[in-house]
Amino acid sequence: MAMIMLLLSGAITAQITSPDVQSIIEERIEAGLTPAIAVGIVRKDGSREIFLAGTRHIGGDAAIDENTIFEIGSISKVFTGILLAQMIDEGTLGLSDPARMHLPDEVTLSEDITLEHLATHTSGLPRMPGNFAPKDPANPYADYTLEQMYECLSYEGKDTTVGGSPAYSNLGMGLLGHVLERRTGKDYETLMIERIAAPLNMNSTTIKPRPEDALRVAGGHAGTTPVSAWDIPTLAGAGDINSTLNDMLMFTAANLGQLETDLYKTMKNSHTPRTKQAGGSTTIGLAWHVTGEPGREIIWHNGGTGGFASFMGVRPNTGEGVVVLSNASYRGVDSIGFHLLDSDTPLDIVRKIISVDPGILSEYVGTYMMSSGAIFTITLENDQLSAELTGQPSFPIFATSDDEFFYKVVDAQLTFLRNDDGQVDRLVLHQNGQNLPAMKFEQTSP
């Protein structure tokens, strides 16, 4: 459930033409970055354009359509922000309410942390709970309990520094969703459906796809490898919603004020920036990221789970919005979305994969330590090289030359280097503008 920051151009440029959208998504599917991509554009006049390519499952023949169900990951957070804004309008909650007042007495969360701090990522709570230790890394949130969250809050939220620069926190937003549940006596899914999805006729938007919807559900993938769906029961407000392109276009139009709905005023309030810059020209509303100069801003959020990636953004000054959904953890959906909203924002690079002799690949196998102490473990199986970084799953990496490789699941690359004797002795991780070396070593058993 990640967030990225992009600095957008100040100028408003012409929107990309419709034929380009289809070629953009087809190129990425042909490159094996994801089995499918769905793109929807809402225009100022209320018209909508839909672009679809690929299949629900890798190697399958069931094409996606506008009613295919995807995990939308952290876009769920903006639903949580809108629910909070509704309850503030009703007088049920106050932005300045200490979160602790809505929790059991035994939770010793700092009194300084308000609901606004949770909604704007300024609570000082960590990105993830310190006691997060999933039994199944393929479905990591499934066994994280309410009791564990309370325990974590009591020690990680007791002396935290509150109100500083935004620091993205899945824990904080999950806690906010839980506060809403406790205040209303309803579970998160019921709240979300009753207050947002049902009024907007988003009839396919739920937490867990319903049995009758099974034939519409896309399978998740890491690149082209099938992976498990995610269940996020305790931190549902941080990323547990499933939806479709059609439903998300309805949600986008509502956020632009194109639908006759009582929700628009509340949605607009949730867009209002409430923080200092979070990176580049980005500030935070009630969960929303607001990027760009006032009057030309893009209001957006992205989402990522183990097998899905998503983007949704609106540009109020042009009256347009974009939704991009993928059934792989492919972060390039963000660049597609931003590019459609501002064509001066570049698309991600689609790299051409080449075949490398297995004998050369075998020379890269081993363990490599970074200066931080994190360890890369490089393995080779069935002529496929994979990389595992400490605390993360193993992901396949793909060659663009004999010694240069890239991930499909994240915008990162690895270069393997040799010493004067021609032996591979290090690698370099290229990510977020940094080039981080890791030295090869012989790992011994403890």
Q: Same structural domain for residues 280 and 426?
A: no
Q: Which of 341, 370, 398 lies at the terminal end of a domain, its last residue?
A: 341
Structural domain contains residue 310: yes
Q: Please indicate, yes or no, if residue 237 is contained in any of the structural domains.
A: yes
H/E element, 156: helix 146-156
The structural domain count of the chain equals 2
Residues 43 and 73 in one domain: yes
Per-residue model confidence (pLDDT) at position 395? 86
Give me the pLDDT at residue 16, please: 58
The candidate with the shortest Cα–Cα distance to 197, out of 285, 266, 268, 263, is: 263
pLDDT bin (cut points 50, 70, 90) of residue 15 is low
Whether 121 and 166 have beta carbons less than 8 Å apart is answered as yes
Categorize the per-residue pLDDT at 224 as very low, low, confident or very high, splitting at 50, 70 and 90.
Answer: confident
C-beta atoms surrounding 296 within 10 Å: 17
Across the beta sheet with 298-304, what order do the strands follow?
48-54, 36-42, 320-326, 309-315, 298-304, 289-291, 282-284
**pLDDT per residue as tens digits for the range 38-85:** 999 999 999 999 999 999 999 999 999 999 999 999 999 999 999 999
Q: Is 388 part of a structural domain of the chain?
A: yes
> Same structural domain for residues 133 and 236?
yes
Determine the distance from the C-alpha atom of residue 381 to the mean position of all C-alpha atoms in its chain, rounded to a whole number: 29
Q: What is the mean pLDDT of the chain?
A: 91
The residue among 281, 315, 341 that closes a domain is: 341
Q: Whole-angstrom Cα distance, residue 186 to residue 223?
A: 37
Same domain, 331 and 362: no
- Distances from the Cα of 189 to the Cαs of 38, 88, 181, 196, 206, in angstroms? 24, 19, 9, 10, 7
CATH number for position 371: 2.40.128.50
User: pLDDT tens digit string along 374-424?
Assistant: 999 999 998 999 999 987 888 889 999 999 999 887 889 999 999 999 999
Whole-number Å distance between alpha carbons of 183 and 80: 13
In angstroms, the Cα distances linking 385 to 360, 362, 388 are: 11, 8, 10
- Asked if residue 34 is part of any domain, the answer here is yes
Q: At what angle do helices 263-271 and 76-90 cross, to 10 degrees?
A: 110
Q: Kindly state whether residues 244 and 308 are assigned to the same domain.
A: yes
Cα dist. 38→75, 124, 337, 382, 417 in Å? 16, 35, 11, 32, 39
Q: Token match 């009791």: residue?
A: 147
Instruction: Name the token pair of 267.
Output: 């949605």
Average pLDDT for 219-230? 91
**What's the CATH number where 270 sits?**
3.40.710.10
Average pLDDT over residues 231-258: 97
| pLDDT single digits (tens) 129-181 | 989 999 998 999 999 999 999 999 988 767 777 888 888 999 999 999 999 99
Q: Print the domain residue range for 425.
A: 358-441
Q: In terms of domains, do 336 and 362 share one?
A: no
Taking the C-alpha atoms of residue 174 and residue 153, their distance in angstroms, rounded to an integer, is: 12
Is residue 348 situated within a structural domain? no
Enclosing H/E stretch for 322: strand 320-326
pTM listed for this prediction:
0.85
In a domain, 106, yes or no: yes
Per residue in 284-316, pLDDT (tens digit) is 999 999 998 888 899 999 999 999 999 999 999
Q: Given 309, 341, 373, which residue is the final one in a domain?
A: 341
| Same domain flag for 320 and 196 | yes
- What the block records as the tokens of 67 is 């009613």
Buried b (16+ CB within 10 A) or exposed e, 357-386: eeeebebbebbbbbeeeebbebeeeeeebb
pLDDT for the residue 278: 59
Is residue 82 assigned to a domain? yes
Q: What is the pLDDT of residue 445?
A: 45
CB atoms within 10 A of CB 44: 13
Q: Are residues 277 and 412 in the same domain?
A: no
What six digits make up the tokens of 225? Answer: 């490898």
Please measure the distance between the N-terminal and C-terminal CA atoms of the chain and give it in whole angstroms.
34
Does residue 4 register a pLDDT over 70?
A: no
Amino acid at 437: P
If one counts every other C-beta atom within 10 angstroms of the C-beta of residue 201, the result is: 13
Residues 99 and 206 in one domain: yes
Query: Strand, helix or coil at 120?
Result: coil
Spell out the residues 6+ positions from residue 97 whose beta carbon is closer than 8 angstroms to its own.
114, 115
Examine the domain organization and report whether 322 and 365 are in the same domain.
Answer: no
Q: Report residue 353's pLDDT band, with 50, 70 and 90 as the boundaries.
A: confident
180-204 per-position pLDDT tens digit? 999 999 999 999 999 999 999 999 9
Q: Answer whether residue 407 is part of any domain.
A: yes
Cα separation, 80 vs 100, in Å, equals 18
pLDDT one-digit tens code per residue, 93-135? 999 999 999 999 999 999 999 999 999 999 999 999 989 999 9
Q: What percent of the chain has pLDDT over 70?
A: 93
DSSP letters, 248-301, are: HHHHHHHHTT-S--THHHHHHHHHS--SS-SBTTEEESSS-EEESSTTS-EEEE
Q: Is residue 371 predicted with pLDDT exceeding 70?
A: yes
Residues 66 and 195 in one domain: yes
Percent of the chain with pLDDT over 90: 77
CA 205 to CA 247: how far, in whole Å?
7
**Same domain, yes or no: 336 and 373:** no
Give the pLDDT of residue 137.
87
